[in-house]
Amino acid sequence: MKTLYTATDIENLARNGQPTLTLGPDALLTPLARDRARELGVELRWSQEKTPAASAQAPASPRPPATPSGLAADALAAFVGLLQQTRDETADVPHLARCFGDLLRAVEQGDILHPPARPEPVRLPEDRRQTLAARIESLDALGRYLFGPESASRRFDVLWTLDALKAALGK
């Protein structure tokens, strides 16, 4: 099973006085986590041995929510669910389905997205275009909360991709 390390995990390690994190071949590290490790002086060591699930190398505690009420975890679940639903509903428009699929993988796996420089215009019936535009607006609002400049997990690639999708719909 893969273990995902985020910037929050690195910050927790530094706060707890752990100067080193040993990562097995099953570990995933977000780009922001790599940057935070460099900034905070946390050394990242890659090992060829698989790390046990409950090892001491796992994050010191579960990733805390961005707010005490756990809104970040709920928002992320809503974001992922909305992405899955939108990807499935746009299966008949391959370009859109691919964009939503790439966006979903990037969020779930921490991969970096490369949004299209020029979004392919999408021709849909007006009612469907409006429904999809409203869905993208919801994704954009959740995305800005989760990944915007004020968030703990800045992911401008996700926000740029949502902007490209809005442009493809003419919004």
The most confident of 45-49, 60-64, 92-96, 112-116, by mean pLDDT: 92-96
Is 59 in the same domain as 76?
Answer: no
Task: Answer yes or no: is pLDDT of 57 > 60.
Answer: no
Strand bridging mode 43-46 / 20-23: parallel
The pLDDT assigned to 171 comes to 60
Backbone angles phi, psi at 74, to 5 degrees: -65, -40
Q: With a cut of 70, say whether residue 50 has pLDDT above it.
A: no
Whether 106 and 147 share a structural domain: yes
Pair 149, 81 in one domain: yes
Owning domain of residue 51? 1-64
At residue 30, what is the residue type?
Answer: T
Count structural domains, the chain. Answer: 2
**Judgement on whether residues 95 and 29 belong to the same structural domain of the protein:** no
Judge if pTM exceeds 0.75: no
Comparison of pLDDT for 52 and 160, the residue scoring more: 160
pLDDT tens readout for residues 61-110? 333 333 323 667 788 888 999 999 999 999 998 888 888 998 998 888 88
